[in-house]
Amino acid sequence: MDIQSIPNEYIIKDIRNHTFFSVLTISGYKKKDVLNAYQSCLINDKLNDSIRWCVELHCSNLENKIFEILEKVYIQFIHIYHPKAWIYLLKRIKTYEEILSKSTFKKKYIYSKNNQEIRNLLCELTSIFCLSKKDQRFIKNLPKITTESYNTIELKKRMIGKDITPLNEILNYVTMDSHTKYGLNEIYWNIYKEKGTYENCLYWYLWIEKMEKSKKIQMNGELWIFLLWKIILHFEYKLCSKSNIYLKKLHFKYNENFKLSKIQQRKYYIFTALHILKKPLKWKENIYVQENYVLQCIGNINKMYESIVQMIDTNITKEQVCLFYKMYHSETHKKLNPPKKNMNIQNLHSELNKIEFTNHPDIKDMMMESSHDKSVHDNVHDNVHDNNENMISKNMTQQNIEDEKISKLDMKLNIFSEFISRKKEPSKESPKINENAIIQYLEKEDDIPQIKNIIISNIKNKKNI
């Protein structure tokens, strides 16, 4: 799908890149406010507003922020309640990247917001995550770590693992701080033993995190969090195949673009991983939680873009509209008429000079007779060799090849002479599009949108569009 599949009244004729929307969105709202509003509406099941702010971010070239917020909402609020949604999100992000990579348009941000498939993709994901069940167990219901949690008496009450040998074997006897080793060993035994609980695993994670927060100790070049992941992945044999894939996807996203400052933000990946090791996931729930709402949103998604189109059309000039369509038609022309590859003359000559005896009509009969009479085959081979001076292949002779070489050389000289003569004449081509005109038209004071405020009501809206 491309811009041609979208009716004219739904085409976003905006050619500004992402740098223009560093502070304000396309409608004049503060970008930070729109991001917060989008996340809040997803969490509070406000479907209409979620779609609206998703469209606002998409038209402002902020698709990456949309995916970041969807990932954040899932890992903090949905997690174990809808495991299929996590796999589906990663799959759809990959589809989005493939759509852009296959496009011949150089300005991907113009192509993206006028592509029907991408519009449907973002609307679908927003609807699924907005309608999914959520809770705040990873935010509010966490065990509290105090100074008393590090007392010897309190530690002995909670300790269930007395043997540290299995932990050393998993971590290859890496040297580490004694407190860190103590906490990791407790997490290991709480996962391994049936009497170990998920709540205790969280307790020891937060216990290590609070202790290591000020130290930031590395054990032989490895952070303690990576050692913890080795322990978690060691127990993947306890999971079913789907849960195993789910766990590996969590591990992959945790390590993606990892920084030391992101340990606090990404702890929810660890919480989810520990949870599925102690309590199995439910895979029976469909990806579309309320399918009728999701399909209704996808079917009417262009209506959400219509208000932005009307706002742009009232403020855009005729020159800017002309410039948009010129850019679009130039890209479409490249797509429909790809550049032709130049023929390599040397390869052509090599093909012409190639001797193919098997194409000769008499050769097959000669080869069949050779299996019965070797002497006859030798005589035939000598006759063919004598005729090679005249007949090179089935329809070519030596003279034909020489004539072909001369004609190709003459053609090449004629083309070269025409190019030289054309170079001397003044150019009659129409002037190229001045891309700097984009900035001149868009940086006018009249075109800069005014800052608008977002008011989010606490009352949940109806789940329809």
| The model's pTM | 0.71
- The answer to the question of residue 431 being in a domain is no
Whether residue 84 is contained in a domain is answered as yes
Q: Is the pLDDT of residue 330 over 80?
A: no
Mean pLDDT of 212-219: 55
Contact 341, 41 (CB under 8 A): no
Distance CA 91, CA 70 (A): 13
151 with 274, same domain?
yes
Specify whether 262 is located in the same domain as 300: no
What are the φ and ψ backbone dihedral angles of 24, each rounded to 5 degrees? -110, 155
The pLDDT of residue 247 is: 94
Confidence band of 380 (pLDDT split at 50, 70, 90): very low
Q: How far apart are CA 37 and CA 43, in angstroms?
A: 10
Residue 345 lies in a domain: no
- 156 in the same domain as 95: no
According to DSSP, the residues that pair with 219 across neighbouring strands are: 222
Query: What's the number of domains the chain is made of?
Result: 2
What is the tens place of the pLDDT at every residue in 111-127? 888 889 999 999 999 99
- Check pLDDT > 60 for residue 408: yes
Q: Which of 232, 247, 278 is the last residue of a domain?
A: 278
Question: Does 203 lie in the same domain as 106?
Answer: no
Residues 186 and 122 in one domain: no
Domain boundaries, position 176: 147-278
Contact present, 54 and 126 (Cβ < 8 Å): yes
Give domain status of residue 406, yes or no: no
What residues contact 32, with CB distance under 8 A and at least 6 apart? none
Tell me, yes or no, whether 270 and 178 share the same domain.
Answer: yes
Q: Which among 181-190, 366-375, 410-419 has the top mean pLDDT? A: 181-190
Kindly state whether residue 228 falls inside one of the protein's structural domains.
yes
Same domain, 68 and 103: yes
For residue 463, being part of any structural domain is answered with no
452 vs 234, which has greater pLDDT? 234
Both 8 and 127 in a single domain?
yes
Q: What was the pLDDT predicted at 377?
A: 46
81 and 7 in one domain? yes
Is 367 inside any structural domain?
A: no
138 in any annotated domain: no
Q: Which residue has the tokens 């103590």?
A: 182
Summarize pLDDT for 81-140 with one digit per residue, the tens: 999 999 999 999 999 999 988 887 777 878 888 889 999 999 999 999 999 999 888 888
One domain, residues 185 and 260: yes
**pLDDT at position 397, please?**
65
> Once rounded to an integer, what is the mean pLDDT over residues 71-85?
93
In a 13 Å sphere around the CA of 323, the CA atoms on its Cβ side amount to 19
Per-residue model confidence (pLDDT) at position 329: 64
Within this chain, do residues 100 and 178 fall inside the same structural domain, yes or no?
A: no
Looking at the structure, tell me whether residues 164 and 202 fall in a common domain. Answer: yes
The token pair that represents 123 in the structure block: 């609307």
